[in-house]
Amino acid sequence: MSSGGTGGMPPPTVQTMHAASPPAGSKRRRDFTPEERVSMHTARTAHYQRGCLRRRALATGRAAAMRSARDARHEKHTIETARALLPPLHEAHKFITEEQSKTVVRLMVHSYDLLCPDPKWLSRSIPAVARTSGISDDLVREIWRYFDETGEFYVTDRPVPPRSGFAVELDSKVRDFLEEQLPRDALSGVLYTTHSLQLLLNETFQVGFSSYYVKHVMQEMGYRFGKAGQDWTVGMKSPRRQRQLLYHLLVLNQALSEVKAGKAVLMFTDQTFIDTRTHSRYGYIHPEKTHAHFPKGTGLRVAHMHALTAHGLLAVTGPDGKPVIPPSSDDIRGERASTAADTAELTFSLKADKGAPESAGPEREKKGFSAKVCADWIEKRLLPAARKVWPAPMKLYLYMDNFSGHTGRDKSRYWPQAGIGHTREWNLLQLQAAGCTSLTHGGSTFTIDSLLASPKPAGGPNAKKIIELGRAWMWENCPDNAFSAVQRAAMRDANLLIIFSVPLTPDANPIEYWWGTCKGGLSRLWDGNVDPAVIIYRWRSIALDQGMVMEGVDASGGSPALNPLCQSYVDTAIRWADEFLVPMSVLADCGKLGSFDFSKVPDIAKLARELSESPRIYYRVWRECEDLSLVPPGPAVPGYEEEDDDD
């Protein structure tokens, strides 16, 4: 029987309805071009792959979270079990009993039961057991390995057999040998590592020492492996340095005593170098936003020279009430001390700017600083400024370091010496050019011409003796050739004496403390500006802000008031010299600087007066480091009769 109204056709389905009446604007599959079909397939594939990646990421995250939670539960359970069963083991003693070893094995077995499917159960269980038991991972691993391989429990508290008499005696010999050998080799600059010390002991005692034994012995003797510090006092023990130290302390004591009496002024001078790229790496930073980039290199270097006294930095106050500053030409063009100024400050750049003419700073050397610069500074800048504050006959003491430009001889002036190119014939020709005609040796007189004609005259002096005789002749006829340009400039003022510091003792010069204060302030003020004029301006601003500049002279013409900060610097340096330098000299029992008691050594008291009254003799014995008995008419120095080699 047929359905009414359908003509015997089946009822329409969803597919047939869509096929029969497609939506408006749509296409059938057969209506798409091949290119459109490929594009649709690619889009469906990409969508499917993105869905797979999302599902995989979610599954991975859930699995990782589950593993992390499982690990946390396992670790917590292991720790609770260990704390209940195992008391803390003291690994420092390295003694494990059988009961303790059983407990560790029980914990490891319990951990295995919890994580048996996990192939990494061992590496995950050992840290938890070690952390709760108070022993190291290696010891837990050793206990488990020993039990796994042998089936027995790891025990370390078995009685140790006593050491034989030979071992005890050998150990004592090794320690005595090291106590004597190591300090002596350290003075020669030889330090040992574990391997080198092991080789030394094996070669000395013909016994194979292990590296563990070497480390154990060194630790028990109080040694540790690290960087060794240099003992600067070792160089002070030589006869040459002892003489220099004696002369230095005597003159410094005389200067301090005269300063206390108001008869002299002590000025401390030095030169320093300022980098225009001086910056600080400390400041407010953000862990995510702050990415600093610091400039490389030092940039243009600026040389700075000044004089510090207990009254402040040596600078005369002008009519406006402000300290006088050097001419601006000093800052850039490097004319240095060619222009006088009422201040001891001298500041110049080590390299002239590219626009400067070639004639700017004609005395400049490659390093930018020379003995001539220092001598000109003393004569044309320092002394005029000091004499405006303390007119003659006030005694001036100038404390200066042992820089070669201060104490070294002027190379343009001849002085008999040995070395490369300074042969016997060269010294004889130079002596002849200086006016020397003959030398006396062994009671016989030899002319310079005869010594030049015969290399080895009978009974004549050799090359070393010619240098000695030539120096004696030069001291009598051309003594100025032995002095440096700085010393000659100082000797032009009869009331000026330069006190040279002992090498390796910068702490005895208080101006060094001032340099540190200024350079720290410059690094904090760094803003990327490398203009030397700006750097110099900031340097002077720090001095003014700190109140370091000397105040003006009062109407009565007296000395300026003491500066508290500068006075503290000077006191600190003198205390350091009293603590370290005086005990290393023969004056250790004479008291403190400025008030030495020479009652037990009257010869040294006479020597101190002669050194302070005769700058020429002081400069000579300081340079040559010879006994004053060799320099007539001075007395001999007690305890220093032995000969000392020259430079």
According to the model, what pLDDT value does residue 321 have?
A: 57
Rounded mean pLDDT, 199-209: 87
- Distance from chain centroid for Cα 634: 42
pLDDT at 266 over 50: yes
The 3-state DSSP class for residue 348 equals strand
pLDDT at 605 over 90: no
Confidence of residue 399 (pLDDT cuts 50, 70, 90): very high
According to the model, what pLDDT value does residue 424 have?
A: 87
- Distance from chain centroid for Cα 542: 25
Global pTM value: 0.62
The pLDDT tens digits of the residues spanning 606-636 come to 777 778 777 877 887 777 665 444 443 333 3
Spatial CA neighbour of 316 closest among 381, 269, 397, 271: 381
Query: What DSSP state is assigned to residue 189?
Result: T
According to the model, what pLDDT value does residue 236 have?
A: 80
Q: Give the separation between CA 539 and CA 324, rounded to whole angstroms.
A: 15
Spatial CA neighbour of 431 closest among 482, 372, 478: 478
Q: Is the dihedral of CA 609, 614, 620, 623 positive or negative?
A: positive
Contact 611, 250 (CB under 8 A): yes
pLDDT at 9 over 60: no
Confidence of residue 513 (pLDDT cuts 50, 70, 90): very high
| Strand 496-500, strand 395-400: pairing | parallel
Which structure tokens are listed for 158? 């078995």
The 3-state DSSP class for residue 274 equals strand
Which structure tokens are listed for 480? 């100025």
pLDDT at 87 over 60: no
Mean pLDDT over the full length of the chain? 75
Which structure tokens are listed for 572? 């600190």
Rounded mean pLDDT, 277-281: 71
**Vertex 401: Cα angle to 613 and 331 (nearest 5):** 115
SS3 content of the chain, % helix, strand, coil (to 5): 50, 10, 40
Confidence of residue 318 (pLDDT cuts 50, 70, 90): low
Q: Give the separation between CA 600 and CA 604, rounded to whole angstroms.
A: 9
According to the model, what pLDDT value does residue 90 have?
A: 41
pLDDT at 337 over 90: no
Comparison of pLDDT for 309 and 224, the residue scoring more: 309
The 3-state DSSP class for residue 34 equals helix
pLDDT at 92 over 50: no
